[in-house]
Amino acid sequence: MSDYLKEHGFSDLRACDAHIHIIYPHPIEETEQILRSVCGYFAYDRIAIMSMTESSNKGCDPFANVKALYLRERLGVHHYAFGSLFHWYDGRDTAQSFLEQVRKIDALGFDGVKMLEGKPIMRKRFAHPLDDPILDGFWGYIEARRLPITLHLTDPSDMWDRSKCSEYAIRAGWFCDETFPTRRQLFAEMEGFMRKFPALRLTLAHLFNVEETPRAAAQFLEAHEYAGFDLTPGDLMRLSLREPENWRAFYRDYSTRLMYGTDTYNISRDGKTPEEAWGYRPTHLRMFLEGQEDFEYAGDIIQPLKLDGRQKRLILRDNLIAHLGECHRPADYALAAEECARLREMLKKGEFGDRVSGERIPMESRNLEVMEAFFRGQPAVR
For 11, what's the count of Cα atoms within 13 Å in the CB-facing half-sphere? 20
Q: What share of the chain is helix, strand, coil (3-state, %, to 5)?
A: 50, 10, 40
CA distance 191 to 197: 10
Contacts of 266 (CB under 8 A, 6+ apart): 21, 22, 23, 24, 26, 31, 34, 35
The answer on pLDDT for 382 being more than 60 is no
Residue 297 bridge partners (DSSP): 300
Helix (H, G, I), strand (E, B) or coil at 204: strand
The answer on pLDDT for 335 being more than 60 is yes
Answer whether 329's CB lies under 8 Å from 364's CB: no
pLDDT tens for 71-109 read 999 999 999 999 999 999 999 999 999 999 999 999 999
CA distance 95 to 136: 8
pLDDT at 57: 78
| Backbone phi, psi, residue 147, to 5° | -80, 130
pLDDT tens for 259-290 read 999 999 999 999 999 999 999 999 999 999 99
* Domain boundaries along the sequence of the chain: 3-331
Q: What per-residue string of b and e applies to 182-218 under the rule 16 or more CB within 10 Å gives b?
A: ebeebbebbeebbeebeebbbbbbbbbbbebbbeebb
CA distance 365 to 360: 8
| Average of per-residue pLDDT values in the chain | 95
* Kind of pairing between the strands at 258-259 and 112-118: unpaired
pLDDT tens for 13-32 read 999 999 999 999 999 999 99
Answer whether 67's CB lies under 8 Å from 22's CB: yes
Answer whether 278's CB lies under 8 Å from 267's CB: yes
The answer on pLDDT for 134 being more than 80 is yes
CA distance 42 to 2: 8
The answer on pLDDT for 380 being more than 80 is no
Mean pLDDT score, 353-364: 95
pLDDT at 210: 79
Contacts of 279 (CB under 8 A, 6+ apart): 41
Mean pLDDT score, 210-233: 94
Neighbours of 2 (CB within 10 A): 14
pLDDT at 298: 85
The answer on pLDDT for 381 being more than 70 is no
Cα distance between the two ends of the chain: 33
Mean pLDDT score, 146-158: 95
Give me the DSSP letters along 231-244. --SSSHHHHTTTSH
CA distance 382 to 70: 12
208 pLDDT band (50/70/90 cuts)? Answer: confident
Backbone torsion region of residue 231, taken as left when φ is above 0, otherwise alpha when ψ lies between -120 and 50, otherwise beta: alpha
The answer on pLDDT for 166 being more than 90 is no
What fold does the segment set 3-331 form as a domain?
TIM Barrel (3.20.20)
Strands (E), the chain: 16-20, 46-50, 80-83, 112-118, 148-153, 201-204, 228-230, 258-259, 295-297, 300-302
213 pLDDT band (50/70/90 cuts)? Answer: very high
Residues above pLDDT 70, as percent of the chain? 99
Instruction: Please give the distance of CA 243 from its chain centroid, rounded to a whole number.
Output: 27
Helix (H, G, I), strand (E, B) or coil at 94: coil
pLDDT tens for 313-331 read 999 999 999 999 999 999 9
pLDDT at 192: 98
